[in-house]
A and B are shown apart, each in its own frame.
Chain A
């Protein structure tokens, strides 16, 4: 009889033992590389005579240059906002935008043009780099006031 109580005790212990159930949840994340744009040089149109036009194309020295660092081999949209005029105080001088150019290597001569002066879309290098060149043109009126004129070109960049 003692034996049966031992067995019964074990069975009771098992029957009151805990139950455990398990489930899992997937954790997922999509990491995108940091996207940065850095201006390297400004667009410097130099001296302009009254009644003359000076043009720095995006393919020539003197164009503004930018570097972009983002996700590698990623679609990238570049948006350029050009000023309509440069200003000397409140005095305007007409500014004409040039179509910006881009390259995945830092070589202006082999760069490609976007489709519009406002930029366009392209793909970064495997390392995530993109180089931009932006030119411009100014036309001084015959009676253009002498002075130093300036404006701002704004470039924004986005990756999906």
Chain B
């Protein structure tokens, strides 16, 4: 016994096809462009820190990380960081504890940290972006090498994700 297979077209009329084409234009448009451009302008350099001594890098310090965000349209964005809690030695056998304070980051529509607005990089931040007007973000850090911290070079990565809500 056999069952006939019936294939029914999704779009049954020319009018439906045209309507669907128009409705899908925004989607085509959005895939054709990248509405957000996010760039790392400065890496975060803690510099030299002595074992047993805490070192603070403020957002306004030269060693702070710096990012630039540009949108091709006015948009609401959510800024979110992935912040590691430790740096690893290049040998990978030692960890350096790092933290971020509630005023450990800053944002500004100007390319100048002076006059910027401080925020907590551990929490998501909502920012309004204007079309093609860059937004700048700075992130500081606190390093806590313990007294017997092994000397050497340590590294980690901060990840910034910017979500545009359009």
Interface residues in chain A, defined as those with a beta carbon under 8 Å from any beta carbon in chain B: 1, 3-4, 7-8, 11-12, 14-35, 71-72, 74
Q: How far is the CA of A124 from the CA of B163 in the complex (A)?
A: 52
Q: Are B37 and A21 in contact (CB under 8 A)?
A: yes
Question: Quick check: is B125 within 8 A (CB to CB) of the other chain?
Answer: no
Interface centre among B51, B52, B151, B158 (most CB of A within 10 A): B151
Q: Are A4 and B19 in contact (CB under 8 A)?
A: yes
Q: A8-B19, A8-B23, A20-B161 are in contact. Are A28 and B44 (CB under 8 A)?
A: yes
Question: Quick check: is B7 within 8 A (CB to CB) of the other chain?
Answer: no
Name the CB-closest residue of A to B19: A4
Q: How far is the CA of A22 from the CA of B164 in the complex (A)?
A: 11
- Name B51's contact: one of A16, A17, A32, A74 (CB within 8 Å): A32
**B37 shortest CB reach to chain A, Å:** 7
Q: A12-B26, A15-B27, A29-B87 are known contacts; what are 20 more A-B pairs with Cβ within 8 Å?
A: A4-B20, A7-B20, A8-B23, A11-B26, A12-B23, A18-B166, A19-B34, A21-B161, A23-B67, A25-B40, A26-B43, A26-B44, A27-B65, A28-B44, A28-B87, A29-B153, A31-B49, A31-B50, A32-B151, A34-B147
Residues of B within 8 A of A12 (CB): 23, 26
- Name A27's contact: one of B10, B20, B67, B158 (CB within 8 Å): B158
Can you give 26 A-B contacts (C-beta < 8 A)?
A1-B16, A4-B20, A7-B10, A8-B20, A15-B30, A16-B166, A17-B166, A18-B163, A19-B35, A20-B36, A24-B160, A25-B40, A26-B155, A27-B43, A27-B141, A27-B155, A27-B156, A28-B45, A29-B48, A29-B87, A29-B154, A31-B51, A31-B150, A34-B52, A71-B151, A72-B151
Q: Are B160 and A22 in contact (CB under 8 A)?
A: yes
Q: A11-B27, A15-B26 are in contact. Are A31 and B154 (CB under 8 A)?
A: yes
Interface of chain A: mostly helix, strand, loop or mixed: mixed
Q: How far is the CA of A119 from the CA of B119 in the complex (A)?
A: 50
Q: How far is the CA of A40 from the CA of B27 in the complex (A)?
A: 77
Residues of A within 8 A of B26 (CB): 11-12, 15-16
Name the CB-closest residue of A to B36: A21
Q: How far is the CA of A19 from the CA of B45 in the complex (A)?
A: 30
Name the CB-closest residue of B to A128: B151
Name the CB-closest residue of A to B42: A25
Q: Are B164 and A31 in contact (CB under 8 A)?
A: no
Question: Quick check: is B135 within 8 A (CB to CB) of the other chain?
Answer: no
- The 3 A-B residue pairs with the shortest CB-CB distance in the complex, in nearest-first order: A29-B46, A15-B26, A25-B65
